[in-house]
Amino acid sequence: MDQPDQIHLRDYVLEAEIGAFQSERGRLQRLRFGVTVDLAQPVIGVADDVDRILSYDVLTDAVAAAVTDERLNLLETLAEKIAAGVLVHPRAGRVTVTVEKLDRVPGALGVTLTRRRGRVAADAWLLAPIVLFHGAEVPRPEGAVILTPDAPDLPVPAGGNDRRVALLALDQAAWALGGRLGLDVADSRTELDWAVKEARPIVWAPARMTADVAGLEADPVAIALWLAERIGAGRLDLALPAQAEMPDLPTALPVARSGT
């Protein structure tokens, strides 16, 4: 039987306050982490596409989130939290986590556990961002907000693949919007997830992620809704001109008007 492809984090050392003994309270001690992930799908055929692999940042982020979440008594609890933080990602099939204390004895003492998807209650890894369709001028947002562009106010060449041309025009509008607002522009899910984790606004250029989505028209509002539903946004905001009517969107996601 073929073995699954893996990614790993080794000899990753952080300081944290942890331990059940009184002597361990109020002081930091070094912890060494090892995380090995069996991938749910092999990496063959990913075509050098960052959105089709499990990012190494997932491993370091899971460790950092578990360490800073709360003070813990047990390494076992910390390892469980790390496993849950990794397995929330669909590309992770199984994870093995080792956590060792380096300052208790001359060597290292610790715990190793292995968990499969469905064996842990994984908390949500990311905040639920707001997706903001930028169809009218609004103040520069703050926090975990993903801005999606309106169609550019310029002639779009006709002929050929009209949908692809329209998507590329939206990308152009995204870069122009990012320039006006002083925001970065992302065209991959990995970059969007990173911005959300950092709680900073970002502009989305949609062509790369939506080019091969069957049945999705190159309508800017429909594309904003597609993104909001795909990433589990907390809300879709529509910045529309004052005279524009709110569209009736087929979604259970909260939709609000913004900027008017």
The last residue of one of the domains, among 94, 116, 138, is: 116
Please state the rounded mean pLDDT for residues 177-190: 92
For the cut 80, the answer to whether the pLDDT of residue 210 exceeds it is: yes
* Domain shared by 152 and 90, yes or no: no
Percent of the chain with pLDDT over 90: 50
* Domain shared by 135 and 248, yes or no: yes
For the cut 80, the answer to whether the pLDDT of residue 239 exceeds it is: yes
* Domain shared by 251 and 160, yes or no: yes
Range with the poorest average pLDDT among 33-47, 94-108, 151-165, 240-254: 151-165
**pTM score of the predicted model:** 0.60
Within-domain flag for 26: yes
- For 99-116, the pLDDT digits (tens) are 999 998 898 999 999 998
- What value does the mean pLDDT of the chain take? 87
Please state the rounded mean pLDDT for residues 40-54: 71
* Domain shared by 21 and 112, yes or no: yes
Within-domain flag for 1: no
* Domain shared by 192 and 98, yes or no: no
Q: What is the pLDDT of residue 157?
A: 64
* Domain shared by 82 and 189, yes or no: no
Would you place residue 199 in the very low, low, confident or very high pLDDT band (cuts 50, 70, 90)? confident
Domain range holding 108? 6-116
Please state the rounded mean pLDDT for residues 217-226: 94
* Domain shared by 140 and 248, yes or no: yes
Would you place residue 118 in the very low, low, confident or very high pLDDT band (cuts 50, 70, 90)? low
The last residue of one of the domains, among 116, 145, 171, is: 116
Would you place residue 8 in the very low, low, confident or very high pLDDT band (cuts 50, 70, 90)? very high
Within-domain flag for 77: yes
Comparing 117 with 179, the larger pLDDT belongs to: 179
Comparing 73 with 133, the larger pLDDT belongs to: 133
For the cut 90, the answer to whether the pLDDT of residue 133 exceeds it is: yes
Would you place residue 156 in the very low, low, confident or very high pLDDT band (cuts 50, 70, 90)? low
Copy the structure tokens of residue 207: 């062509």
* Domain shared by 137 and 106, yes or no: no
Number of structural domains found in the chain:
2
